[in-house]
Amino acid sequence: MAKIFCIANQKGGVGKTTTSVNLAAGLAQIGQRVLVVDLDPQGNATMGSGIDKRQLELTVYDVLLESASIAEARQRSDKAGYDVIGANRELAGAEVELVQLERRDQRLKAALASVAGDYDFVLIDCPPSLSLLTLNGLCAAHGVVVPMQCEYFALEGLSDLVNTIKQVHANLNPELQIIGLLRVMFDARITLQQQVSEQLKAHFGEKVFNTVIPRNVRLAEAPSYGLPGVVFDPQSKGALAFVEFAREMVVRIESLR
Ligand code: ADP
Ligand code: MG
């Protein structure tokens, strides 16, 4: 049965999408069956997996409004090695439409139940907000992976996310937990980053993943080729780090099974 994870952080540009597609590609590379759900109307995870968001007939929008099933809406990314439920600008309207519907926060969970046997991992790339879309992700998930940059304000932003996760855990999804914090875009030469990294470990202990994702330009270049960095340049430092992270995730979730 699939284990479902949100890649979430309400800040934009912190590496959520990069983590989603590269963790997915890394997991695929070590033999895991993976589905990526793009929950961001920007559709970056869709494009970064080599699927043209403008050509999609069915997206996560149709899944949330129950006009399509996951099985109907999923696309195979052959190069990346995993399946994708795509998103595009249409999804921005879903927020308003969902508000009026029943079980508005449980739609994704219900849809994913029908394909739980098809995958080992479902990774949900969340938008940069704590919106109804993100709430659908959090209600569907077993856990949250939080990518973060080791910057001065990083810890401050984290408390809002941690509080939201606690609320969802208490009221909507008792299974939900933080799986771990992933340090991304890390530059060991910058003293401040090392200091924040130490603070993170002091505060969150084992919840901080051992793997650190370095700042690596190949990871930033890959999306323009419609590929995760792990596939675009497998020997780059960024790609190797994400495959390492995929291995760490597999080990870490053993304890959840
Ligand atoms: P989010 O989804 O949180 O908005 P993205 O994953 O889109 O963040 O990353 C923001 C920007 O940073 C993108 O241009 C991406 O290519 C770049 N980026 C992400 N991770 C790295 C990294 N480890 N090294 C270099 N650039 C990165
Ligand atoms: Mg993104």
CB distance 184 to ligand 1 below 6 Å: yes
- pLDDT at position 154 is 79
Instruction: Tell me which ligand sits closest to the C-alpha of residue 19.
Output: 1
- pLDDT at position 191 is 94
- pLDDT at position 226 is 97
The number of distinct structural domains making up the chain is 1
Looking up residue 220, the CATH number of its domain turns out to be 3.40.50.300
- pLDDT at position 239 is 98
User: Would you say 16 and 147 are in contact if contact means Cβ atoms under 8 Å apart?
Assistant: yes
CB distance 18 to ligand 1 below 6 Å: yes
CA of 100 to the centre of ligand 2 (A): 26
- pLDDT at position 156 is 81
pTM above 0.95, yes or no: yes
Whole-Å CA distances, 115 to 224, 227, 250: 30, 25, 20
- pLDDT at position 257 is 58
CB distance 236 to ligand 1 below 6 Å: no
Mutate to test the pocket of ligand 1, among 9, 17, 18 (most ligand atoms within 8 A of CB): 18
Give 10-residue mean pLDDT values along the chain (257 residues).
96 96 98 98 98 97 97 97 97 91 95 97 95 96 97 84 94 96 96 94 94 98 98 98 98 81
Rg of the chain in Å (alpha carbons): 17
CB distance 22 to ligand 1 below 6 Å: no
The domain of 186 spans: 3-256
CB distance 228 to ligand 1 below 6 Å: no
Hey, what long-range contacts does 113-116 have (CB within 8 A, 24 or more apart)?
114/69, 114/70, 114/71, 115/2, 115/35, 115/70, 115/71, 115/74, 116/1, 116/2
CB distance 13 to ligand 1 below 6 Å: yes
What token pair was written down for 23? Answer: 């963790």
- pLDDT at position 22 is 98
